[in-house]
Amino acid sequence: MVKGRFSGTEETLIALINAFVKAHKIDEALRALMVINSSGFKVAVVTFNVFLGAIVEGKMDFGVVVYVYKEMVKSRVISNVDTLNYLLEALFDRNEVRSALEQYRRMRKKGCEPNSKAFEIVIGGVLARNQVDKAVVILHEMLKLECELDMGFYASIISMFCWENRSSQVISLYKRMKESKIVLDGFVGVLIQCLYIVHRFCGFEKQNEALWFLEDKNVLETRPHNVLLEGYCDAKKFLAAIDLLEKMLERNIANVISWNILLRCFDENAWTRKSFELLGRMTITSFVLDSSTYPALITDKCNLTEYFGAISRGLC
Query: Does the pLDDT of residue 121 top 90, yes or no?
Result: yes
Q: What is the pLDDT of residue 194?
A: 72
* Averaged pLDDT of the chain: 80
Is residue 131 in some structural domain? no
Is residue 284 in some structural domain? no
Q: Please report, as a single letter, which amino acid is at residue 76.
A: R
Is residue 129 in some structural domain? no
Is residue 91 in some structural domain? no
Is residue 30 in some structural domain? yes
> Could you tell me how far CA 300 lies from the centroid of its own chain?
31
8 A C-beta contact, residue 68 and residue 48: yes
Q: What is the DSSP letter of 256?
A: H
The Cα 278–Cα 295 span in angstroms is: 15
User: For the whole model, what pTM was predicted?
Assistant: 0.67
CA dihedral 155, 161, 162, 168 (to 10 degrees): -110
Is residue 19 in some structural domain? yes
- Express each pLDDT in 43-82 by its tens digit: 788 888 988 998 898 888 899 899 889 888 888 889 999 9
The Cα 177–Cα 109 span in angstroms is: 29
Is residue 114 in some structural domain? no
Q: What is the mean pLDDT of residues 286-294?
A: 56
The domain of 62 spans: 1-78
Please report how the helices 132-145 and 116-128 are oriented relative to each other, as an axis angle in degrees rounded to 10.
170
The number of folded domains in the chain is: 1
Q: What is the pLDDT of residue 316?
A: 43
Q: What is the pLDDT of residue 186?
A: 63
The Cα 203–Cα 26 span in angstroms is: 54
Q: What is the pLDDT of residue 11?
A: 72
Is residue 61 in some structural domain? yes
Q: What is the DSSP letter of 108?
A: G
Query: Does the pLDDT of residue 87 top 90, yes or no?
Result: yes
